[in-house]
Structure 1
Amino acid sequence: MDWDKLRIFHAVADAGSLTHAGDALHLSQSAVSRQIRALEEMLDTTLFHRHARGLILTEQGELLFDATRAMAQRLETATARIRDSEDEVFGELRVTTTTGFGTLWLAPRLPALYAKYPDLKIDLMLEERVLDLPMREADLAIRMKEPSQADLIRKRLMSVNMRLYATPEYLKARGTPQKLEDLSQHRLVCQHSGVPQAAAGATLVQMLMSYNIPSTLTVNNYFGVLQAVLNHLGIGVLPDYVTEDFANLVRVLPEVESHEIPVFLAYPEELRHSKRVSAFRDFVLEEIFANRRKLRDDRPV
């Protein structure tokens, strides 16, 4: 099999266009077209349906694209490992986590990581969908439950509890609830039940909703919940780590909270020796330990 033809085929399949693939490969459209025709002749099959709006893979083309995509991912992994030097941390690191944790906990701490490793390039992918680490959809993940995928190195970072918070302004205007039944006089702001979330958080919201709450605002991530709470819209169900950076929030009904939600960091076994992964992992752990020390030092004696 001609590796150069496969490389060009992969670029065309990925771009869906001879022109765009040529631009990416610095080849003319005619040169790309000749290579694709030669590959089809060699395989004695048609790899693309030609349409005025672009190219669509045939069934045989899909099979070949699956193979070249896996090859590209393996090559990317090998390249990353080769480029990891003994003493320097540089290059791209793709990190995935939930929108809430990524925006409220991780992103505010990244300046310290970049100050230490200025040549690091982080691609932060914030979504509730669990990306496939073994297939290299991301290099490293921080998730609110233990990953179930095989061939992963995983480490439990900390635990999170979902609690109730509001601003002093909201409580001054609407009153501070003293018992769960008092929530019937308030608006509840929480994550929408239809989006993926930790079971413990969903269970807490379900329990709160049983208290005849007249008005609600649901959002598909905790960043949105926090913004609504900060704008005095109601009492929010939020992860406890938000109080680290928003100390003005008041905890409501302190006896009410979810069960513990574990937070795990995970990455593929093949990236065990990656300097970028090690630097990011150690940075996150240092931030967590520093926060624990601060909480311990600030605790009244």
Structure 2
Amino acid sequence: MDWDKLRVFHAVAEAGSFTHAGEVLNLSQSAVSRQISALEESLNLPLFHRHARGLILTEQGELLYRTARDIFSKLAMTEALLTESRERPQGPLKITTTVAFGSLWLTPRIKDFLDLYPDIQVTLVLFDGELDLAMREADVAIRMMPPRQPDLIQRHLLTMHYNVYAAPDYLARHGTPASPEDLDRHHIVVYGDDARISPPVSNVNWLLEAGAGPGRPRRPVLEVNNIYGIYRAVKSGLGVAALPDYMSAEAGSLVHILPELTGPKLDAYFVYPEELRHSKRITVFRDFLLQKIQESV
């Protein structure tokens, strides 16, 4: 199988069109199309269904794409390991974590990391789902639950708890609840169901039940399927919510109320593939995280 044609096929399958693949490969649309046609002729198989709205892989094309993706991901990992300096960590480092943790805690600290290691090119992917580290969708992940994928190395970073917060202007308008029962008279912002993404903890909306009597269910003023969105709603003065305690430390402007109420714990893990065990980029980033966590405790 011709290597150049396989490279073009992989780019087309990733991009979903000849035009976008050509932009990635710096080739014309017609050149990309010719390469794919030649590959299909050599295999005597159609690899794409051609539609007006784009390209869809055939069953045979999907099989070839999975193999090509695995090959190119391993090549990218090997290239990164080969080019990494023994004396000074360098090269790309793609980090994924949740939108909330990445926005509020990690992003403000990345400057310090890059000041220490200017030859590392950092990419942050903030996403509440799980990227496939084995397929090199990211190099490392900071996750709020143990990884479910096999062959991943994990390191526990810290344990957080959910506490109850509100903005000062909300409390000025509605008063500060003195007991969990007082929450019956307050606006509560909660996590909204989203079948595509698992909630960060099993009982994420425990605040609706805390101190509530039987037959008196609380209704939230707003549901948001993202912890960062809940934080923004609370900061705007909309209502009361349960948030991981790192948010209050970073935000500074929220008031911790009902301190006797502590919700579920949330454990953060540093996760990366077995193949990157000896990568200096991974090692220095892990040590950097541990130091910053220790400073913020």
The CA distance in 2 between the partners of 1:259 and 1:16, in whole Å, is 42
Shift of 1:208: 3.5
| C-alpha spacing 1:201/1:148, structure 2 compared with 1 (3 Å) | same
Partner of 1:72: 72
Deviation at 1:161, TM superposition (A): 0.5
| Alpha-carbon distance in 1 for matches of 2:47, 2:122 | 35
SS of equivalent residue, structure 1 residue 70: helix
- 1:55 matched to which residue of 2? 55
Long gaps (5+) in structure 2: none
Structure 2 match to 1:143: 143
**1:204 touches 1:257 (CA, 8 Å); kept in 2?**
no
User: In the superposition, relative to structure 1, how do residues 17 and 185 fare at CA in structure 2: closer, same or farther (>3 Å)?
Assistant: closer
What is the aligned-residue identity percentage?
48
TM-score by length of 1: 0.88
Cα drift, residue 140 of structure 1: 0.8
Q: Cα distance 1:18–1:192, how it changes in 2: closer, same or farther (>3 A)?
A: closer
Match of 1:187, SS state, is coil
Aligned Cα root-mean-square deviation (Å): 2.2
SS of the aligned residue for 1:202 comes to: coil
* Residue of structure 2 in register with 1:286 after alignment: 291
Contact 1:190 1:217 in 2 (8 A): yes
- Matches of 1:168 and 1:131, distance apart in 2: 37
Partner of 1:100: 100
Match of 1:205 among 195, 204, 207: 207
Aligned CA distance change for structure 1 residues 248 and 60 (closer, same or farther; 3 Å):
closer
Rate the CA distance shift 1:8–1:289 in 2: closer, same or farther, 3 A.
same
Corresponding residue number in structure 2 for 1:263: 268
Matches within 5 A, 1:1-301: 1-194=1-194, 196-202=198-204, 204-208=206-210, 210=212, 212-213=217-218, 215-292=220-297
Q: 1:54-105: CA deviations, max 9, x gaps?
A: 4332221221111111111111111111121112233321111111111121
1:169-191 deviation line (CA, Å, top 9, x unaligned):
32232122111111111111232
- Which runs of 5 or more structure 1 residues have no equivalent in the other structure? 293-301
CA contact (8 A) 2:10 2:65 kept: yes
8 Å CA contact retained: 2:191, 2:205: no
Q: 1:174 to 1:279 in 2, by over 3 A?
A: same
Does the CA-based 8 Å contact 1:186-1:213 persist in structure 2?
Answer: no
Relative to structure 1, is the Cα distance of residues 136 and 176 closer, same or farther in structure 2, using a 3 angstrom cutoff?
Answer: same
Partners of 1:173 and 1:100 in 2: CA distance: 27
- Secondary structure of 1:161's counterpart equals strand
Distance 1:51 1:37, change over 3 A: same
Gap change, CA 1:37 and 1:217, over 3 Å in 2: closer
> Does the 8 Å contact 2:143/2:270 carry over to 1?
yes
Distance 1:251 1:201, change over 3 A: farther
Residue 176 to residue 55, structure 1, CA distance change in 2 (3 Å) = closer
- Matched pairs, number: 292
Describe the shift of the 1:206–1:258 C-alpha distance in structure 2 as closer, same or farther (beyond 3 A): same
Corresponding letter in the other structure for 1:244: A
Question: What is the SS of the residue equivalent to 1:13?
Answer: helix
CA–CA distance in structure 2, aligned partners of residues 63 and 32 of structure 1: 20
Q: What amino acid is the match of 1:57?
A: L
Residues 25-75 of structure 1 deviation map (CA, whole Å, 9 limit, x = unaligned): 333444433332332222122222334444332221221111111111111
Q: 1:176 to 1:31 in 2, by over 3 A?
A: closer
Check 1:186–1:23 CA distance in 2 against 1; reply closer, same or farther (3 A cut).
Answer: closer
